[in-house]
Each structure stands twice: as structure tokens, then as C-alpha cells.
Structure 1
Amino acid sequence: MMRRFDAIVIGAGQAGPSLAARLTATGRKVALIERKHVGGTCVNTGCMPTKAMVASAYAAHLARRGAEYGVVTGDIAIDFARVMARKDKVRFDARKSNEDWLEGMEGLTFIRGHARFESPTEIRVGDEILSARQFFLNVGGRAVTPDFPGVADVPYLDNVSMMDLTEVPEHLIVVGGSYIGLEFAQMFRRFGSRVTVVEKGPRLIAREDEDISAAVRDILEREGIAIRTGAQCIRFVRSGGGIGVGVDCAEGAPEIAGSHILLATGRRPNTDDLGLDRAGIAVDQRGYITVDERLETNVPGIFALGDCNGRGAFTHTSYNDFEIVAANLLDNEPRRVSDRIQTYALYIDPPLGRAGMSETEARRTGRKLLIGTRPMTRVGRAKEKGETLGFMKVIADADTQEILGAAILGTGGDEAVQSILDVMYAGRPYTTITHAMHIHPTVSELIPTVFGEMRPAE
């Protein structure tokens, strides 16, 4: 017997449950299907558990610096089992809270299983067929295993298996010098591992401006993390009791040996086992579901939200996808994906907060630019905290005074950049910020100053 619903949500990540709540609140009969863990990547293997570990690593780092603040701490040791237990409590509590919410949601049928399309209006979950007028795909993504020579012959970790380590690696080699890799690199260095980052490209976090990349590299190297960029021939071999990584860089040893390997080289969408072809749903060459400005696929009534649509790779973009879909379908409020401003953070310490264009992207537009910078050594709050690494950079259109982008690499940067983002969304000129009075002493109080000191780009 077929069960019929008004709407079916596939995936209980950041967008799915919130959308289910909005749909059921209108009286719709809704099913939500999850094949594994409620909460998606963020709750289970991403933001929440990793930031819990970052917090533990920060506490260890600060404790080691205690003498700088006049605090006598004695020898600092890492109880890694307690670190991981704390991390697990954060993620399991969050998962349980989401599960309780879904199981108690009136009008929702919560089903555990793997959903696959049978047609544009039907899916199969196990032996059961379900049908609906609308489908919302929130199936997320997973780590990519790169096709490096020898990778199948050695044990390696990814962002999921890192969550289940039982001991601090003696020497962690991180393959991939981007956001996930760098967060784990600094974290485990602070837990006591030797850490080497191997990056195929010429610099870390290649999507950022060169000055940001250089400053991040300096921050990590100050803590004793080895950085090997320009690794054009990455390969793996067993080496004694560990793993040898061939890097073939222009400088340094052509091979390094480590106890553990973390592959942090990108992600792919979970779209290869959904039966999308049976529903006629189009995907691009990388497997991302093709969507329009309203996040609807080429098949009317089927929408894709979150990491699987290629329109964002963050928890906040996934949740914003939910808001866009709900606004268009339920609130008669036309909202588009292209209306949102790119923003994200890199959670090393100090963090990098980013909003809008990078300087490189802004220069490509051909506009006349104003650019302002200020080192964190000239930010009172940073000096008081003893955390003066990094700098601020802001970019504006010289003719229209429109804010084009900002980067704050420094203590509180992930929070301070939000005030710039809000002015950008309001469509106000940068003078709105220069005329604002901010609280002292904060990092944000220097944002008006750096905007007021902008100069024409050369």
C-alpha cells in the first residue's frame, strides 16, 4: 500500500527539519526521511564537534601562555579522552534535541531509511513506496578521497573518522591546506602532535587574497606547524610503523613520514544513490543538483537545499536555503539565492571572518576601489587580550561608496565582521559605519576607523 503525503523532505540536516516545521504548521501532511544521523554534518561531524575541540585546544594554548598574564599554571597536560568526551556530549546532546523535536512534531511522519526516487512523484524507502506533490532534498555531502598514488594502500582519516580518534597522533600529516585541514592542524598541534600541512597549490587557502594566506601561514608556523606548499606529486607509501607522504616540493625533503594522515581535500554531494535519473532531476558534472534562484530543480515541485545544490557549502547557507524556499512557497515573499552576500569564517585562532568580495575579486570588476587595512597590533582590545596577530581589510567602491567586501583576521574577527555584513545587506554606504559610535573596548570599534582611513587602490 502506498502512503501519500503533501510533501516529503529527504535529509535531516540544517534545512530539512526547519522546513518540515514550517510545512506542518500550515496543516500539510509531511514525511521527513533520514538514513543516518539527525542534524547532518554540522551537528555530527562538522561545526559543533569540531568547534568544541577547537575550544579545548584554545584552552590548552592559553594555559601554556599563563605566565604572560601573570598566572602560574604549572605543567600543562592534555587528557584527550576528556576532550573527546566533551566533544561527544556537545554533538550527542544536539542530535538528541533535534530527534526529540522531529519525533514530537505534529503532522510529521519521521522515517529512518534510505530514500530513492521511483518517479518524479514517488520514492522508495526499503519495501515501502511513498508519494507526494512536493519533494525537498537536503541530503548534504561527504569527504572526497583523492586519487593519489598509494592512497588505497595506507590507512587515512577524514573529517568523520577524526571524530573517533582515541589518542593524539604523534605526527599528523594534513593533506590539503584549506579550511577544514587548517582547523584540524592547529587544533592537534595544540593537543601536542607534530603537524605538517601538505598543500598542492602554491599557498594556503587559495580562494583568499595573498596577504591573508601569508598571514595565516605565519600564524600556524609560529606554533610550530610545518607547511609544505607546491606539493605537485603527492603519493603515499608505508614507512616503517607509519606512513610516508611523497611531496616532491621544490624545497625540503622529498618525502615526510607521519603516524596519521588526514585527507582534507574537498567534498562531494550525496546525490549518487538517490535515483535522481528516475525522477529526471538534472545534476552538473560534479554531481550537484541544478537549481534555479528559488532552489527548484528542473522538475517542478522538487527542490534541493544545502550542500547538495552547489550554491553554498556552509551551515548558514543551508539554513538560508530553507528561508528562501519557505519565503517563496509559504510567505508570498520573493527571495533569490543571488540576493545573499557571501560570508563565512575560518576557525583557526585567531579566526578569519569574511564578507562579500575579496580584494582580488573586487579588482576583477574594474571598479575604482578604496581599500583600508589596519593591523591587529593597533586594536586596543587585541592588545589587552594579548592576541595581536592578524589584520583588518575593507574594500569599497570609490564612486558609489558601496561596501564590496571585508576580511577580519584576528581575535573576534568572526563576530566583528557581522556588523559590516549587516550594512551591506541594508544597501547603505560605508559612511554609515564611519558615522556610527561603537562600544569601547571592542574589536568592532576600530571598524569605523579602518573605513575612514581607506585610500584609492593602486
Structure 2
Amino acid sequence: METEHFDFIVIGGGSGGYAAARTAREKMERVAIVDGSKELGGLCILKGCMPSKTLIYASEILHHAKDGKTFGLDIPEASVDMPALHRRKLEIIKEFSDYREEQLKSDRFTLFRNQAAFVDESTIELDDGRRLSADYFVIATGSVVSVPPVQGLSTCPYWTSDNVLDLDTVPERIIVLGGGIVACELAQFLRRVGSEVVQVQRSPHLLREFSAEAASVVAQSFRDEGIELHTGTRLVSVQHETGEFRVTFEKDDETHTVCAPHLLNALGRRPATDCLNLEAAGVETLSSGHIGCNSKQQTSNPKIYACGDVAGPYEIVHIAILQGELAAKHAIDSEHEAVDYDDLVSVVFTDPQVATAGLTEEELKRRGIDYLSADYPFDDHGKSILMEAKYGYVKVFAERTTGTVLGAECVSKDAGELIHAMAVAVTLNATVFDLLKVHWYHPTLSEIWSYPLEDIADEI
């Protein structure tokens, strides 16, 4: 069978893959996208960002409605209509996925609805036997749910985030394994729509990629809302008998067992590389399972790039897009700046939300950077007090002598929105003195940034 040749082939049509294909098409004529998933759209649209944030926002509204008396409101009853919520989520997803499908199927690209595996360093074979070759490839196959070696877990009918995001009923009681972003966001969603939630986390604190201080605020919020939270555990076993899950774990030298009819495995994800036959292409992987890349997203085969969850180091949509664009630009002319992870923005959509921009305090210490820091709590801030949004704080890190903002942390309602003021500052190398020229409007949540900025400016 004849091999069809392209200038550029992207394997995976999610956010990163589409960004790579779109960018390559600006200069290259023959660009193909290979995506054998059941639906087009990618993880973010279909099973990640869009459905989860739709449900999380709805549960936040419900939470406030149930707390109406605190605001002087008489709301006799507030409850979730899960079938209606499910339908709304599907409508929103469809709007985004239809648009992405239209983009992928446009005559700018050649779309193959197939699985692919490499047969050599420049050729892939599709699952229907056809072969395609290219001058350049981008691997953007994303990630899949990971199943850690916990006794009994792999053989149990556990739920993944996919199952939770597809619910049209409220589980009476559920055990959530994990304390990462997905675990925390979905645990709080389930609690707010009416489930009894038991969350079991192996690390000493939730959200281990964020500071212990930030995690403690989220943990307190969870406990205040009635989530039974266990951190610092060692999972021993998972059993499933007569419709009930039994999770046994050790904590503080004691053995505990929790039971529920449902179990969510949210213990992480791993790169989706199993069927790609990377060895044939000369593409090496790291101990984490991620595809090893240089700063230009090139793999150990310089004609093959990787982006997004499959490459790491951050499983964030906007990072996947930046990496995909960089890969295509580098393939075109090789002279482009790498993605600057020192400007990274991260957000967790719990309530309170957790958000960071730039370098974390842990990273500043690791690098030996001389910095100043200042913080301010939301329970002493006008707008947050009247909103009953008192959980959390803001914190700013700045270079000691110049006041250049190096990073910031925000734990609060809408922290994901508030953090962008500091993200702009970090990216543009603004100083605290620059930011104090800003008109910080009162009363807003955003004006809270002015307090730590003033403290650092005074200290300098």
C-alpha cells in the first residue's frame, strides 16, 4: 500500500494538537490531524475544563442559595435538579465541541479518524492499515486516568472523573481517593449537590503542588462544608462486595476503614502513549511516562515534537496550546523562544479557589533568590466581608532590592480571576512601585493586592 506524505502531522486533535496544526498551516500546505477518539474536541472540552466548571459553578450558586439567611434572604428551598444540570452541561459542551469539530474538519487540514502507531522515524500506520509519512510530527495524545498499585483497586468498578461529570443523579455517599486538583474540585461539587463525601489523600496536605498554607484554607473550607477529610494516609486496600466499597488506610499508626456505595479514583493521570510504538520512532520517555522534550518541544527524534499532557511538565490547557504553537513554529523556522514556565499561572476551582502566578515561595527558596514577601487576609477586607467570602489571603513575592514582582499566591473566592493582575505584573517585570500607581477601585476584591504591595514598598 502506498504511503501518503504530509508536511506536518499532528497525532491528537485536542487543544494542544489543534494549536500546532493551525500554526503549521500558516506556512505549510499539507497538514494532517490524526484523532481516533470517539468524539472530537479533546479532554478540556469533552471531559475536563468545560463540563467540570459548568457543574462547579452551578453548585456554587446552589451553595449560596442554601445559605440565603446569612445574606438576609428568605429562600424556602434550594436543591439540585441533576437531569436539568446534566442537560445544560451537555448543551454547553456541544457548542464548544461542534466548533472544534468544524475547525478540524475544515479544508485547511486532512483529518483521519483513526488510531495511529509509529512504524519508523517518519512513518505512522493507522488502525485501518494505511500509512502516512511526514517531515514533522507533533504528538498531542493527552493523558488517561492512572491506577496506582493499591491492593484491589484495579479490579474494582470505581468511577473516574468521566463518570462523575456524566452523572444525572446525586450519589448518596461516595469515597474520593486523591487530593489533587480533580479530586478536590469534584469532591466539593459532590458535597454541594447533596452527597456525603469521604476524601482520602495520601500526601500530608491537599493540593500538594501548592503551598501547605493554601491547602490548609481549602481543607478548612471542606471540613466546614461537611466533607470527611483524611490526609497523610497510606492506602492499604480497596474492596467491593455486595454493592459497597471498603477502603482501608493507615493514618497515625492506626488502621481505618471507610465504606460507601461509590468510589471515585482521582489519584492522578498518566501520559497516553501506550499504543504509539514510540520506540520505533526513536522517541524516548521519562521515568514519569512523559515524552522527553527539549525547550523547543523536540523529542529525542528532532523531527518529532510533543505537547500538552503527554509532554508535561504541567497539565494545563494554555500550556498545551503554547507548546503546540512553539512546536509548529520551530518546525517552520527554528527561531522561537521557549515557553517561559517562570511566568506560569495555575488555578484550582475549589471554593475558595487557589491561584498562583510566577515563582512560588518554595521555588524562590530553592533557587536562593533574595526576596521580600507580604500577605493580607480576606477576613479583614471590606468587599470579601460583605460577600461572606472570608476564607483565604493574598501574598506577593518581590525581588528585595528592586521590588520586581516575582510571584504571587491568592486563596479566595474568584482567585482565578484575581491572580491575573499579578500574572501581568510578573510577565512584564513590573515592580511593586509600578503597581501602586494603579487605580485599585474600592470596594473590590482586587484592591486587596494593594496592601501587600504597600508593605513591600515600605520595606524597600
Match of 1:300 among 299, 302, 305: 302
> Which SS does the other structure have where 1:220 is aligned?
helix
The answer (yes or no) to whether the contact 1:297–1:303 under 8 Å persists in 2 is yes
The answer (yes or no) to whether the contact 1:239–1:257 under 8 Å persists in 2 is no
How far apart are residue 230 of structure 1 and its match? 2.1
**1:14 counterpart residue number:** 15
**2:125 counterpart residue number:** 124
The alpha-carbon distance between structure 1 residues 455 and 147, as it changes in their structure 2 partners (threshold 3 A), is farther
**1:373 counterpart residue number:** 375
How far apart are residue 396 of structure 1 and its match? 1.6
Cα deviations by residue, 1:50-73 (Å, 9 ceiling, x for unpaired): 001101111110110122223322
2:177 is aligned with 1:179: no
> Which SS does the other structure have where 1:248 is aligned?
strand
Letter of the 2:116 counterpart = A
The answer (yes or no) to whether the contact 2:23–2:329 under 8 Å persists in 1 is no
The answer (yes or no) to whether the contact 1:371–1:456 under 8 Å persists in 2 is no
**1:50 counterpart residue number:** 52
The alpha-carbon distance between structure 1 residues 245 and 330, as it changes in their structure 2 partners (threshold 3 A), is same
Cα deviations by residue, 1:94-120 (Å, 9 ceiling, x for unpaired): 11110012212x331111010111111
Write the distance in 2 (CA, Å) between the matches of 1:5 and 1:175: 44
Write the distance in 2 (CA, Å) between the matches of 1:234 and 1:435: 55
2:32 is aligned with 1:2: no
**2:262 counterpart residue number:** 260
> Which SS does the other structure have where 2:314 is aligned?
coil
The alpha-carbon distance between structure 1 residues 366 and 20, as it changes in their structure 2 partners (threshold 3 A), is closer
Letter of the 2:408 counterpart = A
Match of 1:403 among 402, 405, 423: 405
Structure 1: 5+ residue stretches without partners: none
1:159-178 to 2 correspondence within 5 Å?
A: 159-178=161-180
> Which SS does the other structure have where 1:446 is aligned?
helix
The answer (yes or no) to whether the contact 1:435–1:448 under 8 Å persists in 2 is no
- TM-score normalised by the chain length of structure 2: 0.94
Letter of the 2:191 counterpart = R
How far apart are residue 140 of structure 1 and its match? 0.5
1:426-441 to 2 correspondence within 5 Å?
A: 426-441=428-443
- TM-score normalised by the chain length of structure 1: 0.94
**1:188 counterpart residue number:** 190
**1:109 counterpart residue number:** 110
1:346-361 to 2 correspondence within 5 Å?
A: 346-361=348-363
How far apart are residue 348 of structure 1 and its match? 0.4
How far apart are residue 405 of structure 1 and its match? 1.7
Write the distance in 1 (CA, Å) between the matches of 2:347 and 2:341: 20
Letter of the 2:20 counterpart = L
> Which SS does the other structure have where 1:110 is aligned?
strand
Cα deviations by residue, 1:130-164 (Å, 9 ceiling, x for unpaired): 11111111110111011111213432111122223
RMSD (Å) for aligned C-alpha atoms: 2.0
2:167 is aligned with 1:145: no
**1:99 counterpart residue number:** 101
Write the distance in 2 (CA, Å) between the matches of 1:6 and 1:330: 10
Write the distance in 2 (CA, Å) between the matches of 1:323 and 1:401: 33
> Which SS does the other structure have where 2:301 is aligned?
coil
Cα deviations by residue, 1:25-49 (Å, 9 ceiling, x for unpaired): 3351111011113221101111000
Write the distance in 2 (CA, Å) between the matches of 1:265 and 1:446: 35
Cα deviations by residue, 1:207-260 (Å, 9 ceiling, x for unpaired): 222211211110111101111112223311235541111122228871111121
How far apart are residue 392 of structure 1 and its match? 0.9
The alpha-carbon distance between structure 1 residues 53 and 68, as it changes in their structure 2 partners (threshold 3 A), is same
Write the distance in 2 (CA, Å) between the matches of 1:159 and 1:47: 11
> Which SS does the other structure have where 2:234 is aligned?
coil
Range with greater deviation from structure 2 (85-94 or 53-62): 85-94
Match of 2:202 among 200, 203, 212: 200
How far apart are residue 367 of structure 1 and its match? 3.0
Structure 2: 5+ residue stretches without partners: none
The alpha-carbon distance between structure 1 residues 296 and 393, as it changes in their structure 2 partners (threshold 3 A), is same
> Which SS does the other structure have where 1:57 is aligned?
helix
**Percent identity of the aligned residues?**
27
Range with greater deviation from structure 2 (337-346 or 309-318): 337-346
Count of matched residue pairs = 456
Match of 1:83 among 82, 85, 102: 85
